[in-house]
């Protein structure tokens, strides 16, 4: 299944990767790989994760305090946010869905 990222989600991924890379060399790349693994799990089993709000689902990362928020569309998975689990929990709610 095709995956489409919101421009916000792309920016969040890049920002978090840069933050972790500044903390420790290579950690940013590990973060990005963990996000990719989560998205691969979402593609394989899109309905496996619990709903965060309405039709928006969340897939938690295993080694970082982040979650991938997504919706299942007719012909793709839409990634709404790559959100830290402990900061401003509902900041993404007003984002447009395709």
Is 51 within 8 Å of 72 (Cβ atoms)?
Answer: no
The count of structural domains within the chain is 1
pLDDT score of 89: 61
pLDDT tens digits, the chain, 98 residues: what are they? 899 999 999 999 999 999 999 999 999 999 999 999 999 999 999 999 999 989 999 999 999 999 999 999 999 999 999 999 887 666 555 655 54
pLDDT score of 39: 98
Is 17 within 8 Å of 39 (Cβ atoms)?
Answer: no
In a domain, 92, yes or no: no
In a domain, 63, yes or no: yes
In a domain, 40, yes or no: yes
In a domain, 59, yes or no: yes
Structural domain for 75, as ranges = 2-84
Q: CATH code at 50?
A: 3.30.2310.20
In a domain, 47, yes or no: yes
- Which segments within 1-98 are labelled E, that is strand? 2-5, 51-53, 56-60, 66-72, 76-84
In a domain, 93, yes or no: no
In a domain, 22, yes or no: yes
Q: State how far Cα 98 lies from the chain centre.
A: 16
pLDDT score of 93: 57
pLDDT score of 80: 94
In a domain, 94, yes or no: no
């Amino acid at each position: 299944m095709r995956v489409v990222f919101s421009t916000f989600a792309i920016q969040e991924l890049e920002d978090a990767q840069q933050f972790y890379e500044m903390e420790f060399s290579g950690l940013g790349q590990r973060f990005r790989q963990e996000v990719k693994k989560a998205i691969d799990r979402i593609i394989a089993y899109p309905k496996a994760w619990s709903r965060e709000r309405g039709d928006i689902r969340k897939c938690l990362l295993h080694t970082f305090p982040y979650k991938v928020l997504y919706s299942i569309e007719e012909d793709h998975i839409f990634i709404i946010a790559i959100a830290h689990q402990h900061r401003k929990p509902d900041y993404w709610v007003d984002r447009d869905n395709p």
